[in-house]
Amino acid sequence: AQSVTQPDIHITVSEGASLELRCNYSYGATPYLFWYVQSPGQGLQLLLKYFSGDTLVQGIKGFEAEFKRSQSSFNLRKPSVHWSDAAEYFCAVGAHGGGADGLTFGKGTHLIIQP
């Protein structure tokens, strides 16, 4: 069965500092990986995705993520965070072609930005 682990429930970062959110997955085939962001009471916004090819993927709002097959990881990074980045971040894994299994999400990491 597929699963996603986000080891950090909360992370606090100072504004302007760099950020790395961890994500480890378990999946029996080649995974299709996503990062979504959720503001309070809102739906999920897609930040970036990895399907194939270059293992370093760029997303919106200055985020990037690196797929490391040997470590079963897909960590999210940003060189300098802004106060508006405070939100809940979810890593997800799905099958190529999508469909019957939907996406499997981690429990999320709550990002707090200190002024």
Shortest Å distance, C-beta 40 to other proteins: 11
Cα–Cα distance, 80 to 3 (Å, whole number) = 29
Query: Which CB sits closer to other proteins, 100 or 115?
Result: 100
**4 vs 113, beta carbon nearer other proteins:** 4
Q: Which two tokens stand for residue 113?
A: 């930005």
44-50/32-38 β-pairing? antiparallel
Q: Which residues bind other proteins (CB under 8 A)?
A: 4, 32, 34, 36, 41-46, 49, 51, 90, 92, 94, 96-108
Beta strands in 60-105 (DSSP E): 64-68, 73-78, 87-94, 103-105
* Comparison of 13 and 94: residue with beta carbon closer to other proteins: 94
